[in-house]
Amino acid sequence: MKKPLRMILCFALAAALALPLSAPPAAAAAKPAGAVGFTADDYLTVNNRELVNRRGEKVKLKGANLGAWLIMEDWLCPYEEVGDNYELLETLIARFGVQKAYELMNTYEDNFITAYDLDQIAAMGFNCVRVPFWYRNFYYDDNGSKILDSNGDWDFSRLDWVVRECSARRIYVILDMHGAPGFQSDAPHSGKADSNGLFAKTPQGERYRELTDELWTAIAARFRGNPAVAMYDLLNEPCCDMPVTELQRRIYNEGIYKRLYKTVRAADEDHIITLECIWTPLALPQVRTHNWQNVVYQVHFYNNSDFIFAAFLLLTRLYHPGIPLMMGEFYPLGRTTWKGCFRTMENLGFSWMLWTYKGAGHLMWESDWCLKGSKDGFERAKIKTDPFAEIARKWGAYLRTENGYTDTGHYRNNVEAFLG
């Protein structure tokens, strides 16, 4: 970097760090008298660098991820003996058959997040949740065998429930494809480690992309016009952990996002679409390159100092100056502080989503990775050796937040002051 540019960036960064917290932008408007949940006037769209509802009010989203609910990660979820969600599900299918395996998964999902949790989130003052899901919530296998409901229709009841219940509490929902068919990264949080078949230039890779198109088409058509849905999050952290250069990451991202943007817009012209560039703002093109409309760019960052966090966000704002930005996941590692993160996001106008609301693991009961942590002595399901009934018990009522989890203190100590 040439010296003048370096000096300009340093001055701008210092300003981002030094500015006092500005008055918070208007959050979702107060519930009108006699109204039930969101109305058409609460529908969000993009207006330059802001999110606005149809009353013209600016809305800054401040929320939490519902991680570990519809897609599982070993460090956040009560299971052992397998590494990732794909291995977990395939092991259950091999042991108990498809129907019984999904019976166990339904038991888990019925209990991990309930109406009680959404009440807690609303009471804390959050106005949004990001809902990570993966393709196996809707397909039995990698071949596109749809999971059907009792009427013989493709089963989206889990998403229907969370959108409906959040709407009743005036909480917006971001629908996040955390794990696409074929997988979009080598990271296990996509559902399967070391697997990025979504990008493969093979007939099988194209089949994965077709299934991803099919799934997003169905979701977008289902929630078209629904004001509780803030936006569609097309892919979580594409190319994460893949051995690629930043240029290659940009090429992969741009190609798949061009396709999925077109897919969603064919089914839903109006909802916001959010695209993730995760580690650097260079991993996505500027919006005007493709004339993408009603788009929010999203970053995720886990860093080691307030200075690096602020520099990263400032670079993102400078590189993408004309659109709303959102921190979809973050956590202050090393010397980074929660106060520093929140201050920078407020000053640079970012919406944000905590990672995450709830987690099960050793010392989670006092961890600031989550708002609700498993109590000391929690039980993990042994996926390869526990009998069916034992897994069902461990994933039953005790999995509910009010039974087996505790307040970690994270909300009170680090978050509450920044929700005003």
Query: What pLDDT is stored for residue 391 in this prediction?
Result: 99
Domain count of the chain? 1
Q: Average pLDDT over the chain, rounded to whole?
A: 91
Which CATH number belongs to the domain containing residue 277 in this structure?
Answer: 3.20.20.80
Tell me whether residue 405 is in a domain. Answer: yes
Query: What pLDDT is stored for residue 288 in this prediction?
Result: 86
267 Cβ contact list (under 8 Å, min separation 6) = 216, 217, 218, 220, 221, 224
Query: What pLDDT is stored for residue 14 in this prediction?
Result: 44
Tell me whether residue 50 is in a domain. Answer: no
**Tokens standing for 94?**
């091999």
Judging by DSSP bridges, how do beta strands 50-52 and 405-407 pair with one another? unpaired
Tell me whether residue 306 is in a domain. Answer: yes
Query: What pLDDT is stored for residue 299 in this prediction?
Result: 95
Tell me whether residue 71 is in a domain. Answer: yes
Tell me whether residue 91 is in a domain. Answer: yes
Which domain does 392 fall in, by range? 58-418
Instruction: Count other C-beta atoms under 10 Å from residue 204's C-beta.
Output: 11
CA distance 89 to 86: 5
Please indicate, yes or no, whether the overall pTM of this predicted structure exceeds 0.85.
Answer: yes
Interval 80-96: pLDDT, tens: 999 999 999 999 999 99
Tell me whether residue 99 is in a domain. Answer: yes
User: Does pLDDT of 233 surpass 80?
Assistant: yes
Tell me whether residue 361 is in a domain. Answer: yes
Residue 345 half-sphere exposure toward CB, CA atoms < 13 A: 29
Contact 121, 372 (CB under 8 A): no
Interval 243-268: pLDDT, tens: 888 888 888 899 999 999 999 999 99
Interval 341-384: pLDDT, tens: 999 999 999 999 999 999 998 899 999 999 999 999 999 999 99
Tell me whether residue 52 is in a domain. Answer: no
**Tokens standing for 156?**
């989206």
